[in-house]
C-alpha cells in the first residue's frame, strides 16, 4: 500500500515539474517574441512607418504586458500618428510600470 502511495506521489510530482517547466519556457519564449516585435516596431518608427510600428509595438505589449519601453515607443508612434488619447494611455502605462521614466516631448 505504501509503495502505491509513493508511486502516485512521484507521478504527481513529475507532472507538476513538467508543467512548471513548460510555463517557464513559454513565458521566456513570449518575452523573446515581445523583444522581436519591439525591435521591429522601433525600426518602423524610425522609418516613420507609423501604422506598422504601432501594430508591432502593440504585439510586444500583448506578449509582455510589463514592457515599459514598448509602451513608451507605442506612445511616441501613436502621438506622431495623431492618436493623442491612445498615446496618453500608453505613456501613463509606461510611467506606471517604471515611475522614473521620462515621457518624451516634441515627438
Residue 101's pLDDT is 64
Contacts by residues 49-54 (CB-CB < 8 Å, ≥ 24 positions apart): 50/77, 50/80, 50/81, 51/81, 53/77, 54/78, 54/81, 54/83
Q: What is the tens place of the pLDDT at every residue in 20-50?
A: 444 444 567 888 999 999 999 999 999 999 9
Give the start-to-end residue ranges of the domains of the chain.
33-97
CATH code given to domain 33-97: 1.25.40.10
pTM of the predicted protein model: 0.71
Count of all residues that appear for the chain in the document: 107
| pLDDT value, residue 53 | 98
- Residue 78, pLDDT above cutoff 70: yes
Amino acid at each position: 500500500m505504501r509503495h502505491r502511495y509513493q508511486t502516485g506521489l512521484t507521478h504527481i510530482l513529475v507532472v507538476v515539474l513538467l508543467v512548471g517547466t513548460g510555463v517557464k519556457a513559454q513565458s521566456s519564449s513570449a518575452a523573446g517574441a515581445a523583444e522581436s516585435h519591439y525591435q521591429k516596431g522601433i525600426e518602423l518608427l524610425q522609418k516613420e512607418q507609423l501604422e506598422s510600428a504601432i501594430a508591432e509595438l502593440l504585439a510586444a505589449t500583448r506578449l509582455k504586458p510589463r514592457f515599459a519601453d514598448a509602451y513608451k515607443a507605442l506612445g511616441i508612434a501613436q502621438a506622431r500618428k495623431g492618436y493623442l488619447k491612445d498615446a496618453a494611455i500608453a505613456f501613463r502605462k509606461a510611467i506606471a510600470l517604471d515611475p522614473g521614466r521620462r515621457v518624451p516631448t516634441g515627438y
